[in-house]
């Protein structure tokens, strides 16, 4: 990765920032994006203090215009893009019956369309160097989760898009990895939206025993280096994917009962 240019969307915190450190320590030039300028600049400074060549660019992944401008800026500054990591994402927590549909649209705009916009803008440059694309998806992209209908839909869409793209690019030398972490200790739950689209500001799960963002980043980098097509993390995640394929009726009840135990769960 020495001197290669890596773009990581939504990298002010969590898995995105951990990936910035992971690839930065490998010698890559890191570009991180985010909507909140203050948080983005703080992450940029933290990376630079660790001796990592990092550049933060304010960009709302839900905006095609801002995303294309970001990619143009990267090309102007560095002249190449070797790896695009589509990490920007947001979650939601609400029963579908009571949710304002604008919440589902907002989640889809960031999680799915954000991936589409960045990939479409960067793809010609990635093909030129036979680089790669990583999508940070979720177990929710294999198994729909109650109270997270919009999030699950966005990750299913992301998985399908990247799988189709991977096949299209089969003879181009571009590698595509779909990475699906399980529950990870990050701020995505605290930043999730409620039925009205307001940030909850609180995690509904105990994150003490979850895989750390740093461990997730390390495993993703290893999978990309090994040219894996998909990565499903944690025993719970692998078991969920397996059971959903062969025993989905049983898993319906298991998932329901598990998520019913979450703090303030609307499931009864």
Catalytic residue selected from 23, 151, 224, 256: 151
Contact 6, 16 (CB under 8 A): no
- 264, two tokens: 């303030």
For residue 175, list its beta bridge partners: 132
Please report the beta strands in 52-131, taking only residues with DSSP state E, as ranges in sequence order: 54-58, 83-86
Structure tokens at 150: 């919009």
**Sign of the CA dihedral running 219, 22, 182, 225:** negative
Task: Reply yes or no on whether 151 is catalytic.
Answer: yes
Q: Between the CA atoms of 74, 53, 213 and 32, what dihedral angle is there, to the nearest 10 degrees?
A: -20
Distances (CA, A) of 109 to 56, 74, 84, 105, 183: 22, 22, 18, 6, 22
Tell me which long-range contacts 244-249 makes (C-beta under 8 A, separation of at least 24): 244/142, 244/143
100 contacts 196 by C-beta, under 8 angstroms: yes
Relative orientation angle of helices 114-128 and 64-78, to the nearest 10 degrees: 30
Burial class of residue 67, CB neighbours in 10 A (0-12, 13-18, 19+): buried
Work out whether the CA dihedral 181, 185, 188, 193 comes out positive or negative.
positive
> What is the total residue count of the chain?
268
* Residues noted as catalytic: 151
């Amino acid at each position: 990765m020495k001197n290669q240019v890596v773009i990581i969307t939504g990298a002010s915190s969590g898995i995105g920032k951990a990936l910035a450190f992971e690839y930065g320590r490998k010698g890559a030039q890191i570009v991180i994006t985010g909507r909140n300028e203050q948080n983005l600049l703080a992450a940029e400074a933290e990376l630079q203090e660790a001796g990592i060549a990092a550049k933060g660019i304010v960009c709302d992944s839900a905006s095609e215009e801002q995303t294309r401008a970001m990619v143009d800026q990267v090309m102007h500054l560095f002249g190449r893009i070797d790896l695009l990591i589509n990490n920007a994402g947001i979650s939601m927590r609400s029963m579908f019956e009571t949710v304002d549909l604008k919440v589902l649209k907002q989640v889809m705009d960031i999680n799915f369309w954000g991936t589409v916009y960045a990939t479409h803008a960067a793809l010609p440059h990635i093909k030129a160097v036979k680089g790669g694309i990583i999508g940070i998806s979720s177990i929710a992209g294999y198994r729909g989760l109650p109270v997270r209908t919009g999030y699950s839909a966005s990750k299913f869409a992301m998985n399908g898009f990247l799988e189709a793209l991977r096949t299209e690019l089969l003879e181009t030398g571009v590698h595509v990895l779909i990475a699906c972490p399980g529950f990870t200790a990050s701020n995505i739950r605290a930043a999730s939206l409620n039925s009205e689209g307001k940030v909850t500001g609180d995690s509904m799960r105990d994150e003490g025993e979850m895989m750390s963002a740093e461990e997730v980043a390390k495993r993703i980098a290893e999978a990309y280096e090994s040219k894996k097509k998909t990565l499903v993390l944690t025993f719970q995640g692998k078991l969920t994917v397996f059971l959903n394929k062969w025993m989905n009726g049983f898993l319906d009840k298991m998932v329901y009962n598990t998520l019913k135990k979450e703090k303030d769960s609307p499931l009864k």
